[in-house]
Chain A
């Protein structure tokens, strides 16, 4: 199970999450997004970049509420809500956006 682009092979797990998070790059993100039928708009990138920064600091994706609050600050109240985030990432901002951001899948009762 692997993504392939420009002659590079990147392993992923059964669900499409890359197994070595250090090999992520924006080009790979576009490939994963295409696989998920997600168009990477500027707003979608804003979310992915926030997730990556948060992960770097805390080793986990942010809570949905933390994410919406951060997006609200950056993109305004129209976009800082979970409905808009679900428009960007229909399978859930936490799981689908994490996959595109090259981060592990959050697990548990979520």
Chain B
């Protein structure tokens, strides 16, 4: 098993230091290769094809033609070094190939060799190299040590987006038969069953019924989690981890309470019971479109007027930035609301209008900080103003909690560090690099724990939540020190008819509003 972490190397410093280089430290870190059945289910070759070099270069050429951005990213790096210390995997692993510029160069040197005049005739003068097996091994290893979080691109003066480069590299590898097991197996499950988990409809219904029971027991109010209800106004598309894992499920129960209190009709779809779209991670436009079209079909079949996304980072990037081009136009939805809408936008709108009764003291046992998820922070927006994706989640937390502290300014908002498990890396075979990649966030968290007594970190992404629950114990925190944002809403919200300390709340008393 390669999921053993040398805990001695994972000490937390008070400042984020630039590590001394350890050449090749992570060269053996690579995820399991997808078996032929997982590859073929997505239309990729089952295993590495004989003429893989030629096919890789052909595919690369195709991508360069299709994406002007990729071409510019290949051409425009001036090796200024601004990105070198910005990657959490570099900071956590000390491997120089995890510097974004070096990661990009793994592809760029092949670009130069086969697609530029100088590289074709004078390769050694321009850092061009042949596509050899060793290069392919490096690609497979280091392009799966990039979570496509785009932090480096914030600091790049040319705006070179390493995520796009690592997506292109993975797309090329899929097309020559060297795909990643984790992502490709999961995409196959979405096509077959409708979600990443492989949760069939009967299990989905059993799970939500169980949650309904718990909600009734907790509040004394019948709060429903409807599945496949035709004619509902709202389709909730949420990561399937929300039905399965902790603390995700506490967030899902929070959405249900908010919908209940808002008095709207809503439903989950068993056909599109997944917000995540792992096709983004493997750079496959065709797969991304297929997954997105499931959401459109579910919305049409159920006759909903609105689509709301639950707490999922990259799903929100795909939804906010690409859903319309992938599966639009959504002219059958109600244009009076954002298409699509984030659950945080929905909840915040109600809070602003004074339509939720929130008892902040229900969260007094915690002091919270907020981890901005990379894809929400740098790949999308919330609300109708720049930076809404930073302000709205924080505003909800402040409305639900008395104790909130932000982490250091260069580790949040557009400068946020990835959790270490994004971009298709949330798999056990990559636990070493995942744990190392979490180091910068853990350092920033440790600082606010020490200085401000922070007890819990809030996240709005299923990957972030699972990753932190898994790696935080390595850094001396407990697995339940990470919480869902709507878990806080769930704790604080007082539903109509809910019995709290012997007092039954019948209608909304604006005087008790927590703002």
A→B interface (CB under 8 Å)? 14-15, 57-60, 62-66, 69, 82, 86, 92, 94-95, 104, 106-110
Contacts and interface: CB of A to CB of B under 8 A. Distances in A.
Contacts of B239: 108-109
Interface in B207-265: 207, 210-211, 214, 239-241, 243-246, 249
B450 interface: no
Nearest to B245: A110
A110 B385 CA distance: 32
Contacts of A110: 197, 241, 244-245, 462, 466
A107 B200 contact: no
A36 to B, nearest CB: 10
Interface string B103-114: 000000000000
A65 B186 contact: no
B312 A109 contact: yes
Contacts of A63: 207, 210, 243-245, 249
A20 to B, nearest CB: 14
Per DSSP, are chain B's interface residues mostly helix, strand or loop, or mixed? helix
Given A69-B210, A107-B186, A60 B198 contact: yes
B210 A58 contact: no
B210 A109 contact: no
Per DSSP, are chain A's interface residues mostly helix, strand or loop, or mixed? loop
A23 B75 CA distance: 55
Contact of A58 (B195, B203, B211): B203
Nearest to A68: B246
A60, A82, A86, A107 interface centre (most CB from chain B within 10 Å) = A107
A108 B240 contact: yes
Given A63-B207, A107-B196, 9 more contacts: A14-B32, A14-B429, A59-B203, A60-B200, A65-B249, A86-B479, A94-B245, A110-B245, A110-B462
Nearest to A58: B203
Contacts of B312: 109
Contacts of B210: 63, 65-66, 69
Contacts of A15: 32, 428-429
